[in-house]
């Protein structure tokens, strides 16, 4: 294992800080969504009453702080190092959901969180060094290579299908629809965020990058993608269980981001087969932890039922009966 470069260490510190803020924001925002839904139309049903809720805005500010730290991390370290550290936000949001939102987390769910962290650490310790980039125009050339243009076209087509075909039919019953939209667009967001972060870093070093139109195009892409992600993430949070939205979103988002970074920035081009295999093993460990967290999520809620099976109002995870509310046949703990 090579020694981590100073830039990678800076990126690591910023990414960890980002995960703490973002993990907290899931819980704070959901409290706002629940309060807004109790007095009006829920976000999952198209309502926007949460915009008048202080809790939701507090969560949004917390998320913005986390995203700014995440934004800065991409200026120093490759996406394959920064993105997997989102596992820490899973741990933080799951623990807070357990104590604040009373969404019980079973001991095997805790084990799943630990596996996510172990896998992330494995990836971090074997992550490639950031390549030297001297201008935002260099990033633009990477973005318009045929391989990445094909990837972007496939992603945009998949998002359009999810929005216009799948969401009206399956959005309120299948978590994968909302989270899929956020994750797919998220991979394009990260690539553009990295370009803007590099432009800002170079500008502060004395080489103004905002005199080039390329930087402004990347900024526009970031703005559009972020607005789309916020909208569908709100719907997912309002309809499904927070403690499971986080890991499912993390796995899908990380997968597509690593693929996008591998195609655009060619992160693995300078690495040996052994290091790539180790990073893949780390990612599989994360997937295993997420699967365990998902499969044992309801056990924490049923354990207090003294043998009876009780279902929380926001379960099951990948599919949800009705509109995200519990059906009349479910026994809901009070």
pLDDT recorded at residue 327 = 35
Whether 252 shows a pLDDT value over 60: the answer reads yes
Cβ partners under 8 Å of residue 285, min gap 6 = 115, 116, 118, 119, 122
Give 138: exposed, middle or buried? Use CB within 10 Å, 0-12, 13-18, 19+.
Answer: middle
- Three-state secondary-structure class, residue 174: strand
CA distance 331 to 261: 46
Of the candidates 137, 135, 85, 138, the one whose C-alpha atom is nearest the C-alpha of residue 266 is 138
pLDDT recorded at residue 180 = 93
pLDDT recorded at residue 77 = 87
pLDDT recorded at residue 313 = 43
* Least confident interval from 154-158, 204-208, 215-219, 249-253: 249-253
Q: Write out pLDDT tens, residues 98-151.
A: 788 777 777 887 888 888 888 878 888 887 877 788 899 999 999 999 999 999
**Structural contact between residues 175 and 181, judged by C-beta atoms closer than 8 angstroms:** no
Share of the chain above pLDDT 90, in %: 31
pLDDT recorded at residue 297 = 58
CA distance 20 to 89: 6
pLDDT recorded at residue 21 = 92
Q: Write out pLDDT tens, residues 52-72.
A: 888 889 989 998 999 889 889
Share of the chain above pLDDT 70, in %: 84
Which pLDDT band holds residue 1 (cuts at 50, 70, 90)? low
Whether 34 shows a pLDDT value over 90: the answer reads no
Instruction: Tell me the average pLDDT across 245-272.
Output: 83
pLDDT recorded at residue 234 = 87
Global pTM?
A: 0.72
Listed by start position, the domains of the chain span: 1-130, 133-266
In the block, which residue shows the tokens 């899973």?
A: 90
When the pLDDT of each residue in the chain is averaged and rounded to a whole number, the result is 81
Q: Which two tokens stand for residue 73?
A: 């991390």
Indicate left, alpha or beta for 325 from its phi (over 0: left) and psi (-120 to 50: alpha). beta
Which pLDDT band holds residue 208 (cuts at 50, 70, 90)? very high
b/e code 49-62 from CB counts within 10 Å (16+ = b): bbeebebbebbbeb
Instruction: Count the Cβ atoms, other than its own, within 10 Å of residue 191.
Output: 27
Instruction: Tell me the average pLDDT across 182-199.
Output: 93
What is the phi/psi pair of residue 174, to 5°?
-130, 110
pLDDT recorded at residue 310 = 41
More confident residue, 244 or 279: 279
């Amino acid at each position: 294992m090579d020694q981590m470069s100073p830039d990678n260490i800076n990126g690591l510190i910023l990414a960890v800080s980002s995960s703490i803020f973002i993990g907290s924001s899931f819980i704070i925002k959901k409290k706002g969504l629940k309060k807004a839904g109790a007095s009006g139309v829920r976000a999952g049903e198209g309502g926007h009453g949460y915009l008048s809720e202080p809790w939701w805005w507090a969560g949004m500010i917390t998320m913005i702080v986390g995203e700014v730290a995440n934004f800065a991390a991409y200026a120093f370290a490759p996406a394959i190092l920064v993105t997997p550290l989102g596992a820490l936000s899973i741990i933080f949001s799951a623990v807070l959901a357990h104590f604040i939102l009373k969404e019980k987390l079973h001991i095997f769910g805790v084990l799943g969180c630990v596996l996510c962290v172990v896998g992330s650490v494995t990836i971090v310790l074997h992550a490639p060094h950031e390549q030297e980039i001297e201008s935002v125009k260099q990033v633009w050339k990477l973005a318009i290579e045929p391989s990445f243009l094909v990837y972007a076209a496939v992603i945009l087509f998949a998002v359009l299908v999810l929005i216009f075909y799948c969401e009206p039919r399956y959005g309120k019953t299948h978590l994968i629809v909302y989270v899929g939209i956020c994750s797919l667009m998220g991979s394009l967001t990260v690539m553009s965020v990295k370009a803007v972060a590099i432009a800002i870093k170079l500008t502060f070093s004395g080489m103004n990058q905002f005199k080039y139109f390329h930087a402004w195009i990347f900024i526009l892409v970031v703005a559009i993608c972020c607005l789309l992600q916020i909208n569908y993430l709100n719907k997912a949070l309002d309809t499904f269980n927070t403690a499971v939205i986080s890991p499912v979103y993390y796995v899908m988002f990380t997968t597509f981001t690593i693929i996008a970074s591998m195609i655009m920035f060619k992160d693995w081009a300078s690495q040996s087969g052994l290091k790539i295999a180790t990073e893949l093993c780390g990612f599989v460990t994360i997937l295993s932890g997420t699967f365990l967290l998902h499969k044992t999520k309801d056990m924490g809620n049923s354990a207090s039922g003294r043998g009876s099976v009780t279902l929380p109002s926001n379960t099951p995870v990948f599919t949800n009966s009705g509109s995200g509310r519990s059906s009349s046949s479910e026994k809901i703990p009070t």
